[in-house]
Amino acid sequence: ARGADVRFVQASSAEVFGNATVAPQDERTPLAPSSPYGVAKVFAHQLVGLYRGQGLHAVSLILYNHESPRRPLSFVTRKITHTVARIAQGLEDVLVLGNLEARRDWGWAPDYVDAMVRAARHETADDYVVATGEAHSVEEFALAAFARAGIEPRIEVDAALSRPGDPALLVGDATRAREVLGWAPTVAFEELVGRMVDADLAGNAAGT
């Protein structure tokens, strides 16, 4: 008897393009990781292609930064929104960051889950870049958070927080996902930041 139809989705990462010399990146951009994490993702990405060649419905989605209130505080985006919420509520005085100029392609995590579901259900297995196509700096993220909280920015820079191995400009071209899967991001950058700030304001007020 024929077994169940198995479909595999690999959540890959823009870190596979860590040392990219072109921007934006798409599915044809050479893989050039700049970190151990990126190297591991390249290995998994290539395994997906191997098994797809053997007949498995295996897809790899190269996900650019996808954010939501579920992000741990170890991520700079959540550190920003959490701290800004605490400043707005008088619980902290200043937001301390490293490299304010680092730029990323930030999208809304539920949109990226939608892309993964679409890829799994599509009749043809393939690889897709999933991204907004817009790059914003850490400083822009922080300023958007302060604006949502309705307070003046209070930012200090600590060079010790900068990461020496930060990748090049990572911004994705999701044309294939748009054309084949009918996918598109639904939450703009400022609203993404705002939703995270709102969640942290509510969480702090509730004592969570």
Give the N- to C-terminal CA distance of the chain in Å, as an integer: 51
Residue 13 annotated among the catalytic residues of the structure: yes
Residue reference for tokens 């008088």: 90
Structure tokens at 167: 């990748």
What is the SS3 assignment for 19-41?
CCCCCCECCCCCCCCCCHHHHHH
From 12, 15, 67, 68, active-site residue: 15
Distances in Å between the Cα of 113 and the Cα atoms of 69, 155, 185, 192 are 15, 32, 11, 15
From 27, 34, 35, 37, active-site residue: 37
Residue reference for tokens 């997906």: 48
Structure tokens at 90: 């008088």
Residue 123 annotated among the catalytic residues of the structure: no
Residue 139 annotated among the catalytic residues of the structure: no
Residue reference for tokens 């991204």: 131
From 13, 64, 112, 140, active-site residue: 13
Residue reference for tokens 């996808």: 66
Question: Which of the residues are catalytic?
Answer: 13, 15, 37
